[in-house]
Amino acid sequence: AALARLVVEAAAEAAARGVRFSLGLSGGSLVELLSRELPPALSAAPGADPSRWLVAFCDERLVPPEHPESTYGAYRVRRGPG
């Protein structure tokens, strides 16, 4: 929960300064942690609008999203389609 709050606070700060918030996401256990903790943290901080974030997958293995080793695919499955 603390990591999710730090991410959201940094995003809100960037928005307040009028700059884009960038976030690099790795895979592994971070997928589960952020998929569980980030939505409630975002609900508590409306200024941290994720539609304005630049998200990069730091350890993407250049496989299709549906491949079991796809970092993008892991986040998409946890979040749901769309």
Which pLDDT tens digit goes with each residue over 29-62? Answer: 888 899 899 999 999 988 899 988 999 888 667 7
Helix 2-17 to helix 29-43 angle (10° resolution) is 60
Which runs of E-coded beta strand occur in 1-82?
21-25, 53-57
Least confident of 8-12, 24-28, 31-35, 61-65: 61-65
Structure tokens at 52: 């304005």
Mean pLDDT over all residues of the chain? 86
Per-residue confidence (pLDDT) for residue 11, from 0 to 100: 96
Residues 6+ apart with CB under 8 A from 33: 3, 4
Exposure of 66 in the CB half-sphere (CA atoms within 13 A): 1
| pTM score of the predicted model | 0.78
